[in-house]
């Protein structure tokens, strides 16, 4: 393979040179990005505190003990990750895996070259230990951890192309000029902005393409042909007679020319089919495409089916003719092949980077991905638009503050939060007239709820909620992540879905985005963190003719028969007891929802009607008559299918609570279970459900 590094036969190999930027590295692409980052920071910090590790270095130049093998500390760290359940331990080369798993932390400035936590890393670790930090909002209307990531991305630079570029600033600049990027522009064109010249070129191309629809592929091809290596490769490929050595010399594979050998039979079969009109080679052409990493892209050009059997049965009927201009000469055919090969390679690489770029931008909670567009959320948009001219001056120079925990205006003085600019920007965008930043946040909140309701309509219809409940029961986790998000674990997603179900049950009344004690991204989907606050949803209800003013604590858990009793009995009653002691509203109660109801958990909750809950700090203060209603996923299904309202549920729970049955299973089966209950009988005829009676009972 080494012979292909410089010369291939008589040809000097044309080298590949990177022409895109990306955030981080593809080796650090992980689900639950936030939680895994926070978790690994904690593990890394603990690792260096161990006596046998604290004086060691990560790289050779930092190793304190001469006898220590260069890879030993990395292997030891990998074993530490396995021991703590961070990774499964199935990587073939430990030290390489350890390096890959920490690469993103270094890129983000969270650890230094010696893999010790920087001040920024320690700050993030402190935030991850404070569950409220993920809920507290900064002036930019994003959480504290998102603000930390935002500062880091503003400072982060890439040198992949040989030029310095700070990608995040480039993204902000494009959005300031274009207002939004389509998904195609975000995926294929945004990463090409590696210099001031390239950025202006791509910006103009996007604007022209929106007007004339010239096509993304043409923009990429023209961009590549502005590079000297692609120009040289095209000239050589056209002028020289075809040979294996020729193709390998112009393939510009990033690893080795040998990886391009699969293109040789593709060229030969294409030439036979399209230039020599040999229909017997159609099926071999189709088979040759299967060996390409970009095979799907080639097949869509030349075949109307991806089915091998269909091509074998009717080769000529499966073939798509190429335009006559391509097959009119050998030169035009070779040009088409060369450009298509490099276009497909470039698009495949950019598609591979898409997920990575989106995850890193998502850390800031500033970007909204919806309606086939990427744009800034309202407050960040007007904050950055006001500073973009000065900020863009730094877009192609390194920032020496990456590893420092600094203020945002020390990165760029223009990044100061000016309330008037934000208010003016929001007034202009929304066509309103407000005078204070509090009113501005209220208006932004209204927009968030409009988006959330739209999200529910599109993503969480009753049918999809029922399907998700089945998935939770069967623990088809991959499908759950596909339907919701892969940046949260399954228990967090279950809690989020329970909140949506209850929001719909409540007629979409109430501030559910506040009631959810969850961290949400800019697209209003859940995020799991390494640590957090109480895992409950506190739904607030105003007084109506159907029920008094009260809070409903929604507790969600996914558990099986072996761990539910241990995990949930004490926390649920503690959460409700503390809430009642704190608020003094004895009308409040709790609903516990799970995929499996353990009989002793039901029994514990039922007995809370008879047991005092005391304030541990002042035992003279206590509450009794704790009302906890246990529901399973089947109950939730019935609520959705029967379209039961919260007013009906509230009265149903009152009947269940006031019943005299104390046997856990009988109580649940006969009084709590939604499927076994008739929630459509005339509640007013039931003496235990008169609202006045309920108020008196609970306020005694």
Digit-coded pLDDT (tens) for 229-257? 999 999 999 999 999 999 999 999 988 88
The span from the CA of 286 to the CA of 303, in Å, is 8
The span from the CA of 160 to the CA of 105, in Å, is 18
pLDDT band for position 612 (50/70/90)? Answer: confident
Average pLDDT over residues 503-509: 97
Residue 117: predicted pLDDT: 97
Selection from 507, 477, 495 nearest residue 536 by Cα: 495
Digit-coded pLDDT (tens) for 488-500? 999 999 999 999 9
The span from the CA of 582 to the CA of 577, in Å, is 9
Digit-coded pLDDT (tens) for 305-362? 999 999 999 999 999 999 999 999 999 999 999 999 999 999 999 999 999 899 999 9
Dihedral pair phi/psi, residue 666, rounded to 5°: -65, -40
Q: Where in the chain is the domain with CATH 3.40.91.50?
A: 460-699
The span from the CA of 613 to the CA of 619, in Å, is 9
Checking if the pLDDT of 28 tops 80, the result is no
Triad 691, 694, 695: Cα angle to 5°: 90
Digit-coded pLDDT (tens) for 366-383? 999 988 999 999 999 999
pLDDT band for position 25 (50/70/90)? Answer: confident
pLDDT band for position 694 (50/70/90)? Answer: very low
pLDDT band for position 168 (50/70/90)? Answer: very high
Checking if the pLDDT of 272 tops 80, the result is yes
Average pLDDT over residues 20-48: 87
- β-strands 373-376, 7-8 pairing: unpaired
Range scoring the smallest mean pLDDT among 190-199, 251-260, 611-620, 674-683: 674-683
pTM: 0.89
Average pLDDT over residues 470-496: 95
Checking if the pLDDT of 693 tops 70, the result is no
Residue 565: predicted pLDDT: 45
Long-range contacts of 247-252, Cβ-Cβ distance < 8 Å, separation of 24 or more:
248/4, 248/8, 248/11, 248/13, 249/8, 249/9, 249/11, 249/12, 249/13, 249/14, 250/14, 250/338, 251/341, 252/14, 252/15, 252/16, 252/342
Higher pLDDT, 162 or 565: 162
The span from the CA of 153 to the CA of 169, in Å, is 8
The span from the CA of 409 to the CA of 449, in Å, is 31
The alpha helices in 431-563, defined as continuous H runs, are 437-459, 462-474, 477-483, 490-505, 512-515
- What CATH number is given for 460-699 in this structure? 3.40.91.50
Tokens describing residue 66: 């001469």
Residue 71: predicted pLDDT: 84
Residue 367: predicted pLDDT: 96
Distance of CA 330 to the CA centre of its chain: 47
Checking if the pLDDT of 224 tops 90, the result is yes
Residue 62: predicted pLDDT: 62
User: What are the residues facing 623 on neighbouring strands?
Assistant: 613
The span from the CA of 100 to the CA of 25, in Å, is 8
Tokens describing residue 615: 């304030």
Tokens describing residue 517: 């004690």
3-state secondary structure of 520: strand
The alpha helices in 159-215, defined as continuous H runs, are 167-178, 183-184, 196-212
Residue 534: predicted pLDDT: 54
How many CB atoms within 10 Å of residue 665?
A: 12
Residue 2: predicted pLDDT: 41
Percent of the chain with pLDDT over 70: 91
pLDDT band for position 676 (50/70/90)? Answer: confident
The span from the CA of 129 to the CA of 137, in Å, is 17
């Amino acid at each position: 393979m080494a012979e292909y590094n410089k010369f291939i036969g008589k040809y000097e190999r044309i080298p590949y040179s990177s022409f895109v930027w990306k955030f981080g590295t593809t080796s650090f692409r992980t689900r639950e990005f936030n939680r895994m980052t926070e978790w690994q920071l904690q593990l890394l910090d603990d690792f260096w505190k161990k006596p046998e590790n604290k004086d060691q270095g990560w790289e050779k130049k930092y190793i304190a003990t001469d006898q220590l093998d260069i890879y030993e500390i990395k292997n030891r760290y990998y074993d530490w990750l396995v021991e703590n359940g961070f990774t499964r331990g199935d990587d073939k080369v430990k030290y390489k895996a350890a390096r890959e798993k920490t690469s993103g932390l270094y890129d983000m400035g969270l650890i230094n070259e010696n893999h010790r936590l920087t001040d920024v890393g320690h700050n993030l670790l402190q935030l991850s230990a404070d569950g409220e930090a993920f809920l507290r909002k900064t002036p930019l209307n994003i959480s504290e951890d998102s603000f930390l990531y935002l500062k880091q991305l503003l400072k982060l630079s890439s040198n992949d192309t040989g030029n310095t570029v700070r990608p995040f600033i480039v993204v902000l600049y494009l959005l300031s000029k274009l207002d939004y990027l389509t998904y195609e522009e975000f995926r294929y064109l945004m990463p090409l902005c590696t210099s001031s010249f390239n950025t202006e070129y791509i910006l103009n191309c996007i604007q022209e393409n929106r007007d004339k629809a010239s096509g993304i592929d043409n923009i990429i091809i023209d961009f590549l042909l502005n590079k000297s290596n692609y120009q040289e490769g095209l000239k050589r490929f056209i002028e020289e007679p075809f040979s294996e050595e020729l193709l390998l010399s112009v393939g510009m594979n990033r690893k080795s020319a040998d990886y391009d050998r699969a293109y040789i039979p593709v060229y030969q079969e294409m030439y036979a089919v399209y230039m020599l009109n040999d229909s017997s080679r159609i099926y071999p052409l189709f088979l040759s495409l299967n060996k390409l990493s970009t095979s799907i892209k080639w097949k869509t050009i030349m075949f109307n089916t991806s089915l091998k059997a269909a091509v074998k049965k009717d080769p000529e009927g499966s073939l798509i003719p190429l335009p006559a201009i391509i097959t009119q000469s050998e030169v035009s055919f070779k040009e088409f092949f060369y450009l298509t090969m490099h276009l497909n390679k470039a698009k495949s690489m950019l598609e591979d980077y898409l997920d990575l770029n989106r995850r890193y931008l998502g850390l800031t909670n500033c970007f909204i991905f919806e309606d086939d567009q990427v744009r800034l959320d309202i407050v960040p948009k007007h904050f950055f638009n006001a500073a973009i001219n000065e900020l863009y001056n730094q877009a192609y120079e390194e920032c020496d503050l990456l590893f420092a925990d600094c203020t945002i205006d020390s990165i760029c003085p223009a990044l100061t939060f000016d309330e008037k600019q934000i208010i003016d920007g929001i007034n202009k965008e929304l066509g309103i007239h407000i005078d204070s930043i509090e009113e501005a946040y209220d208006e932004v909140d209204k927009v968030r709820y409009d988006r959330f309701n739209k999200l529910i309509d599109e993503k969480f219809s009753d049918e999809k909620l029922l399907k998700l409940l089945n998935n939770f029961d069967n623990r088809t986790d991959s499908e759950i992540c596909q339907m919701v998000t892969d940046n949260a674990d399954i228990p967090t997603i279950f809690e989020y879905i329970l909140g949506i179900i209850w929001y719909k049950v409540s007629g979409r009344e109430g501030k559910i985005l506040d009631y959810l004690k969850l961290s949400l991204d800019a697209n209003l989907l859940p995020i799991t963190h390494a640590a957090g606050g109480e895992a409950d949803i506190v739904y607030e209800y105003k007084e109506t003719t159907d029920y008094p003013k009260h809070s409903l604590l929604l507790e969600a858990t996914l558990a099986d028969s072996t761990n539910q009793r241990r995990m949930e009995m004490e926390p649920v009653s503690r959460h409700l007891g503390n809430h009642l002691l704190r608020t003094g509203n004895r009308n409040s109660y709790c609903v516990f929802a799970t995929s499996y109801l353990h009989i002793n958990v039901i029994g514990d909750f039922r007995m809370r009607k008879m047991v005092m809950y005391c304030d541990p700090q002042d035992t003279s203060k206590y509450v009794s008559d704790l009302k906890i209603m246990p529901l399973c996923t089947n109950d939730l299904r019935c609520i959705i299918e029967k379209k039961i309202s919260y007013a009906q549920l509230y009265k149903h729970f009152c009947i269940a609570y006031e019943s005299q049955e104390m046997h856990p299973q009988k109580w649940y089966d006969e009084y709590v279970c939604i499927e076994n209950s008739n929630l459509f009988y005339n509640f007013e005829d039931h003496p235990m459900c008169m609202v006045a009676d309920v108020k008196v009972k609970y306020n005694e």
